[in-house]
Each structure stands twice: as structure tokens, then as C-alpha cells.
Amino acid sequence: MSNRIPVIAIDGPSGSGKGAITHRLAKHLGFHILDSGALYRLIGLAARMNDVELDAEPELARLAADLSIEFEPTDDAEEPIRILLDGQDVTLKIRSDEAGSDASRVSPYPRVRGAIRKLQRDCIRPPGLIADGRDMGTVVFTDADVKIYLTASAEARAKRRYKQLKGKDINVNVADLFLSIQQRDERDMNREVAPLKAAEDAIIVDSTELSTDEVFARVLEIVTENIGLNRGTNQ
């Protein structure tokens, strides 16, 4: 019997619902979570906190290598993971659109990606790992047991983001969010290092017309079919 620890890689563009599905699936299976997008957001935030320019690759890489990061589970359905940077709760700060834009700016740098690669691989622990990001299946976990590419139209993603932010009393408008998502897609899909794309062996799930429950059911079906897991009861 194999002692291999299963890894599920879930990639996709910003706002496609990766985070919600990852957390729900992790709770259902009892797996650990790697929110790789949060890592890059944390680097961007740390850069601003330490007056490091977002185009200064050597300084960013050194900063990334020295980051003290903790992911703590919570009972909050809206924020199921509390993220600590050097002991400070920065969960809300890194969910801002500015933090997302900063993440997209620092993530293409090879030295930055190299600095956090070991951290990402070290997240593989029993009973399993669900890695949420943009290059989990194509670069970081090329040997993942299951690779899923979760996507949705830019319009649908903008509307979801609008609803999410309005629920937190953050003043935004759909048009600005739509433009921001389009611009980020353009950057992520056309960057030279680890561009956003589905792995050749990934299963694509388009959530544009699907509810969260429907997406979860489809993803769980894919996972069960591919690695035969039957863990957890919370859906």
C-alpha cells in the first residue's frame, strides 16, 4: 500500500471561487490548505510595510525568504482561515484589491517564486493537501493526484466580487471590478514565468452558471473518482 500523501491542485483566475471550494473541500476531507495566492499577497503587503519597491526583485526575494507566516483555521464561514504575518492578523488587508494587484506584480519574478517554492512543497502533510493558486498543477505540484482548473467569465467573477465586498461594507462598483479582473487576467496569462493556464491533465470546471453547491459537488465527484477518497461528512 502506498504511503503517498495525496495532493489536490486547484488553479484558476481571480474570482473563480477557488478559495471557497478549497476551504469547503478541505473541511470535508480533513485536508490541509495551501493558499498560494495569499503568499504572494503577503509578499506585496510586507514590501509595502518595509518600504520595498514592488519591482525590486532581489529585495523582494530576500523578504519572501524571511517571511513568518501562519494559517490558522477559524469557524467563520466568510474567512475560514486567519492569516498571520509576523504575528499580526492581516487576513482582511490581503483580501483588498490593492493586495491582489500587488500580488500579480510580484509573483512573476523568478527569484520571488523560488524563495517560496520550498515553503509550498513543505505544506504536504498527512492526511493530504489542497493547493489553491494559479500554477499549482503546472509548476509547483506537477505530480498532483488531482488537478482542477476552476474558471468563470470575467463578468460573473466581477459580480461575485462585488457582492462579497458589499457584504463587508466596502464601497465598490461592478465596472471597476470588471476592468480590474480583465487587467489581472491579462497580466497573469501573459507573464513569462508560470503563466496562468490549465495543466494539460487538469479537469476544467466552468462555474459561470453554477452555484457554489453545484461546483462543490462536481469537484468532490472528480476527487472521489480520481483518488477514491471518502472522508468527512460536512458539506
Q: Which of 106, 83, 78 is nearest to 193 (CA)?
A: 106
Say what the pTM is.
Answer: 0.79
Q: pLDDT (tens digit, 9 = 90+) per residue, 115-166?
A: 888 778 888 989 999 999 889 999 999 999 999 999 999 999 999 888 888 8
**Could you give the domains of the chain?**
7-221 (3.40.50.300)
Q: pLDDT (tens digit, 9 = 90+) per residue, 191-225?
A: 877 788 999 999 999 999 999 999 999 999 999 99
